[in-house]
Amino acid sequence: MLNKDTKIFIAGHRGMVGGAIKRNLAEKGYTNLLTRTSSELDLRNQADVEAFFVAEKPAVVIDAAARVGGILANNDYPYQFLMENMQIQNNLIDAALKNDTQKFIFLGSSCIYPKFAEQPLKEDYLLTDSLEPTNEWYAIAKITGVKACQAIRKQFGKDYVSLMPTNLYGTHDNFDLQTSHVLPAMIRKFHEAKENGNLPVTLWGSGTPMREFLFVDDLAEAVAFALDNILPDYLYNVGTGIDLTIKELAETIQQAVGHQGEIVWDSTKPDGTPRKLMDISKMHALGWKHKVELKEGIERTYAWFLENQENYKEVKL
């Protein structure tokens, strides 16, 4: 059984997701949280990861480490998104198994599901059809992580579970326009347009695709829930069960930021998947549910952005 001084390794603790998990567990009284920066431990290096596990013997691993980005980054760097993510997760999962790690929580993404799967997305839809081409490299990597954890559950009976969050956002997000996801990119665009006299804001696509968004602190709560409980299945969706159009998202962010200019939609740019709504009934049945609604989450994220805008460019670019 786990307790508050169980050694827990949080891989990727300096990212938005890993940082939220680390803060959440510290607030809950966990006192033995193990972390390493990328300069201290290169998770892509198998020998270094294995040496780390032999020395530290973590009882729990939470894998929040990944190379991530939006449509542009996925399109421009397909090899890195495939290979680096597979290296990171394979090294962690294999070292955890070899060193008798009791529990492994693997974090993925809703992009693992087929592009035109029936909505909402159920866990059973995995590997039933083709993926969205603009992020298939990242998706394929994450699918291999899910299946590796499932294989370990099947073959070795270990408590290795995968959580698939919907689109995440929140404090400590990435606001670099070249690599960020849609929501933080919109916050920055609307803010800078407002600061420059409410200039028009040009956004990608038609605005018609539908997306679901989860505040990162709610994902951290889901990870804590998985830590405190033995989940009976290998794969769980984590989301709100509520989606909206990209156009509605833009208008919500525009209002939160206070931008009063025009929104221009560039239909020459790709829309991506038409809809990605998660079926979260399995997590609800176990007792977890999100707490932060989208409007509140955007306001909290923008407030953090304002407090950190003097250094976010230096940190994130």
Annotated binding residue 290: no
Q: Known binder of ligand: residue 5? A: no
Does the annotation flag 181 for ligand binding?
A: yes
Place of tokens 């200019």: 261
Taking the C-alpha atoms of 110, 114, 120 and 126 in order, what is their torsion angle to the nearest 10 degrees? -80
CA distances for 299 relative to 11, 196, 260, 290, angstroms: 28, 21, 17, 17
- The sign of the dihedral angle between the CA atoms of 244, 247, 248, 252 is positive
**Is 271 known to sit in a ligand binding site?**
yes
Q: Is 107 part of any known ligand binding site? A: yes
User: Does 191 count as an annotated binding residue?
Assistant: no
CB 198 within 8 A of CB 151: no
Ligand-binding annotation for 120, yes or no, is no
83 in a labelled binding site: no
The SS3 of residue 222 is: helix
- 173 labelled binding-site residue: no
Integer Cα distance of 144 and 200 in angstroms:
42
38 assigned binding-site residue: no
Contact partners, residue 157, CB within 8 Å, separation at least 6: none
Q: How many CA atoms lie within 13 A of 117 on its CB side?
A: 24
13 is in an annotated binding site: yes
272 is in an annotated binding site: no
Name the catalytic one among 30, 79, 113, 138: 138
Query: Do 251 and 298 contact (CB within 8 A), yes or no?
Result: no
160 is catalytic: no
User: Of 28, 161, 55, 31, nearest to 106 (Cα)?
Assistant: 161
Binding-site residues from annotation: 12-18, 107-110, 142, 165-168, 181, 189, 204, 211, 271
Query: Which sequence positions are flagged as catalytic?
Result: 138
Binding-site residue set for substrate: 189, 204, 211, 271
Residues in binding site for NADP(+): 12-18, 107-110, 142, 165-168, 181
